[in-house]
Structure 1
């Protein structure tokens, strides 16, 4: 049977938050005929195997910390009647995500975006064939095409038996809580998942290649989180490499590794690879379009999300901007539609001073330059650093060994002491950073911080009283 023929103004490949935000704005605000295509579940990584289920799991881990370490010093006596119900929690979390999938589809309908569920492949630079779930085919000829197909987690190809491990996707498919886990990776995904496992009672081993993890973050963050994870009982394996994973049967695996202490093996229930992500381009047949990729396989775009092909654009994890953050993709997608269909020729996302957080234990917030980056950009003589480390009043009732640190660093540049970097670690850092992120985006100086009256007693007041 010959493919069904369709035409549209705007074809969006990928049903993640960024692509859908762009399609909806193009259709609802500017009247463009938009079609969105997704082969998996709507919402992309964030909704299904990323931000949303991760934060829900982090909430559970935070509650576990509170119950096991924090309520007794405040005078409460709570006796648990059973262990953490991992399977029941997982089922409830999945049901929540399914509701979100339905909301995403409803929103597309409300904004008159046609949705096709199937696999997209380019036939030529203007035509994409979609193979639907029933194996029928639709050929779409589009005036403008957005590639926003996201990425997928990597599994190492040079380690024997690596397929016996799982990725961050598999983390959300675990039906039973591992008693012992090896998490391999140094980025925020590894740090978050290791922290959640550990807080929920799994014996957790974290393996990373160099002497520090979170290497794109400020050194203060790297050092404080490492110290805190060790205090919490996590096993850290710095300067490590893995050579083999063996299946021992009964769900057990043996990980062969080398770290700072030499060679060793570790018997675990789960090996989790969190070693980076790759663009989801394998089946798209993008090469037929002539769109250029960088050496890591990401689509090269300019500040306006343009590729080297006039009518093809890209955003989100699949492009080379380096911010694998859902709000970044959403903002970029909306501005792209403003430019393409709304007549706003200068609309683009400013990628400077984008706040980001790591839901570690404790939370981390960061925006702007790290201290090494600031010194390299402005010169050490033009940089002034204000920082403090203290114990949040919340922990005042607890024994010393149960007190988690709070640490803040404000990096300023020039005579006016413009704030060019802010790095915070401690309770509620994610919520605190959102407000300060606005101030820094507006060009706040240290004097602006100082003029803000402190809210007492809070941890965040330290940011406006630093000397």
Structure 2
């Protein structure tokens, strides 16, 4: 195995340009190419979001106390981060656009939300941030998050809330935008998070291109339930390697995958095809 510590970009079918940290480049070719670039948390595309806000990637490397924190989002990442911040004694508010834990059993999601509310975490439902501004510089500083809330009457209410840290946990986007995928006939877009459409980890548009992990829009996954999980990426990569190099025919099964949500009240589930059909039908 030859390891290249370089950034790869497509030049043409089967051909990549590699750029190392010194800026030196060279080109290589491959019969099959596997993309496993993963993903990164995304921002909501509002004024001040990237300048003053942080994501879950930043939270664990902060060199200062985050203080009072507003978490924007209702994914398992959002609720987990809110849970442990509350656990270390920080005041936490969660801004929820629609529902908690989309893609999970909603009865369990409601129980998790109720429990988190009971221990002092504040939820703001049907709330969308519109602008983030800095009132005072510092570590932490003082921020003001402007938002729009839809009341039960249907009326739109605009207001703001002050805090020390705003953490965005509204989903992830694949790190594929700079790979020059258009050079090989693949178009990616923001609608599906710049992911590569695959079936059994093989591109549905380019037969010699494969992809695994968070950067795939896999057609054999449960509908509307992307499995952005490290063990899933590892398993699918191992099975793919065996199919390419050892004539294996074993495919990755994206059903019956155990998932755990590490919120203050923990939740684990294994959903198979029958249970997902049941949930979809209500």
Classify the TM-score, shorter chain: 0.7 to 0.9
C-alpha separation between the residues in 2 aligned to 1:195 and 1:371? Answer: 31
* 1:343 Cα offset (Å): 1.4
Q: Is this contact kept in 1: 2:127–2:150, CA < 8 A?
A: yes
**2:195 is the counterpart of 1:298:** yes
Quote how far apart the aligned CAs of 1:138 are.
Answer: 2.2
C-alpha distance in 1, partners of 2:255/2:181? 29
* Paired position in structure 1 for 2:265: 362
CA distance in 1, matches of 2:255, 2:53: 36
TM-score (norm 1): 0.54
Deviation string for 1:227-247 (max 9, x for gaps)? 110111101111111111111
Question: Partner of 1:185 in structure 2?
Answer: 73
Whole-angstrom CA distance in 2 between matches of 1:309 and 1:160: 38
Aligned to 1:143: 31
| Aligned twin of 2:174 | 279
Aligned residue pairs total: 264
Alignment of 1:312-323 (within 5 A): 312-321=209-218, 322-323=226-227
CA distance in 2, matches of 1:131, 1:293: 22
CA shift, 1:376, in A, is: 6.1
Question: Which is strand-richer, 1 or 2?
Answer: 2
Q: Which position in structure 2 is the counterpart of 1:167?
A: 55
State how far apart, in whole Å, the 1-side matches of 2:198 and 2:150 are: 40
1:367-420, CA deviations, whole angstroms, 9 ceiling, x for partnerless residues? 11599844367x78xxxxxxxxxxxxxxxxxxxxxxxxxxxxxxxxxxxxxxxx
Gaps of 5+ in 2: 152-156, 219-225
* Preserved CA contact (<8 Å) 1:177 1:202: no
The Cα shift of 1:293 comes to 4.3
Q: 2:134 aligns with which of 223, 247, 257?
A: 247
Contiguous gaps of at least 5 residues in structure 1: 1-112, 381-467
Higher relative contact order (CA 8 A, sep 6+): 2
TM-score (norm 2): 0.87
Q: Is 1:335 aligned to 2:239, yes or no?
A: yes
For the 8 Å contact 1:152–1:279, the answer to whether it is kept is yes
Counterpart selection for 2:252 from 340, 343, 349: 349
Aligned equivalents of 1:339, 1:369: Cα separation in 2: 25
- What is aligned with 1:234? 121
1:243–1:203 distance in 2 versus 1, CA, 3 Å: same
Asked if the contact 1:168–1:273 (Cα under 8 Å) also holds between the matched residues in 2, the reply is: yes
Change (3 A) 1:142 1:287: same
CA distance in 2, matches of 1:370, 1:244: 41
Q: Find the counterpart in structure 2 of residue 265 from structure 1.
A: 160
Residue 133 to residue 376, structure 1, CA distance change in 2 (3 Å): closer
Q: Distance in 1 between matches of 2:167 and 2:185?
A: 36
SS class of match (2:198): coil
2:228 to 301, 313, 324: 324
Q: Give the SS at the match of 1:301.
A: strand
Structure 1 Cα separation of the partners of residues 196 and 203 of structure 2: 10
1:266 counterpart SS class: strand
CA distance in 2, matches of 1:198, 1:129: 46
